[in-house]
Amino acid sequence: MVSMIGRWAFLAAVAVSLSFGQQPLRLSLQRALQWAVERNTELQLARLEIERADARVQEAVGTALPSVGVAANFTRNLLLPVFFLPDFRNPQSGQLQAVKIGSENAFQLQLQATQVLFSQAVLTGIGASQVYAQAARQQYRATLARTIAEVKKAFYAALLARELWQAAQASLRRAERFAEDAQVLASQGLVADYDALRARVQLEQVRTLVAQAELGYTAALRQLKLLVGVPQEQDIELEGSLEAEYRPEELPEAETLVRQALQRNPQLQALQLQEVLQRDVVRLYRAESYPTLVGFGTYVYQGQSPTLSNFLTARSMAVGIQLSVSLFQGLQTKARVEQAEIEQHKVQQQLEQFREGLKVQVLLALQRQQLARQRLEVARSTIAQAERGYEIARTRYSEGLGSQLEITDADATIRQAQSAYAQALHDYLAAQADLEYLTGSVDLAQFGS
């Protein structure tokens, strides 16, 4: 599935980082996806399910192949077996006499072979096992696609948390600079000491915002490490940015996306195979009441002797066919068929419900992406205007024309504009990851599937 190169590259990177005193691992989105595919627990379980499904196919095919067996035994008769027969010397007496048969020592070697010539249950079972193997592979693909989407969104969330932290740090630098300026102006008598005091209070408030943003970034990294499979004690550094990941494209029509989702969604395809499998299970139980034709052959080599030498031996051989028909099994077959049909109806209901839910998810993801794009256009111009407004407010304050409140408001406006822009980028990319998963557009080939 996934090349061994990716596995050894990850282990080598971890080993190198540990050897240099916990140097941070540099983690790009593509590397995070490769590691998650290799180490994700759900994917490992799905691979094991594929192996089990392949073994079931072999088992089902084996029921159609010849069965050959050998049996051998040696018997030491401590008392010879007897038959009771009429007394031939005096038939009128009606008495019986015991007649000993065989010898003290006897052996038998038997070779037996059977071959199913016709059995609807065997044929249906082979077909059902093959569908089960296909369903297991499709379920793996669905799990892989979902894991890729989850890792992408976790990576984008971590990038967003980092940018919010950086925006708070930039606000802290502005607050520090303003507090220094206010202290200088107060010492020169140009502003009141109260303004310098308020500037220091505002500075401490911004420090709290920075600490909260850093905590959010740490939590986002922990969630990402959990999905990727990186130890929690290992530090990581993210490569890239939301701006670099953003590639604006023409958004398709909603009808087109819904149609693609109904045709290509991996989880929907897995459910469809489950429905096919359940139909085969119904046919399999019904086939229990169908005739079965089996061919057989036996070869027997046996011998007897009163001593352990000079055995009198004989051979026998026979071939034949056997027809069996189940006439009544206490309504067990009927009950099993009914249970299987109920399960089939349940899968059909799940399929219908999933289709309707899939349509809703596609439309909602498209709406989120469209809204995020609109917010991006507004946020771009807002940042430039907010930065210009801050410089104007700072200049006015230094000239004694403005108030400290203008500085505080202008700084908050910059921080909010930067946060809104980063949030819009994140929402666009997260919605895009959802749409790729829902419409089956994820390129799974690059991950070995």
Q: In this structure, is residue 16 part of a structural domain?
A: no
pLDDT in the model for residue 257: 92
Q: In this structure, is residue 1 part of a structural domain?
A: no
In the Cβ-directed half-sphere of 293, how many Cα atoms lie within 13 Å? 3
Q: In this structure, is residue 294 part of a structural domain?
A: no
Q: In this structure, is residue 302 part of a structural domain?
A: no
Q: In this structure, is residue 78 part of a structural domain?
A: no
Q: In this structure, is residue 100 part of a structural domain?
A: no
Of 244, 262, 293, which Cα lies nearest the Cα of 359?
262
- Whether residue 430 contacts residue 350, with contact meaning beta carbons closer than 8 Å, is answered with no
C-beta atoms surrounding 25 within 10 Å: 21
Name residue 119's beta-bridge partners: 292
pLDDT in the model for residue 97: 81
Cα distances (angstroms) measured from residue 323 to each of 117, 119, 120: 10, 10, 13
Give the total number of structural domains in the chain. 1
Range of the domain at 426: 24-69+118-289+330-447
Tokens at 442, concatenated = 């994820």
Q: In this structure, is residue 85 part of a structural domain?
A: no
Cα distances (angstroms) measured from residue 384 to each of 243, 415, 424, 427: 16, 12, 16, 21
CATH of residue 378's domain is 1.20.1600.10
Residues of the chain with pLDDT under 70: 1-22, 181-182, 185, 188-195, 330, 390, 394, 396-409, 449
| Cα(155)–Cα(162) distance, integer angstroms | 11
Q: In this structure, is residue 318 part of a structural domain?
A: no
pTM score > 0.75 for this model?
Answer: yes
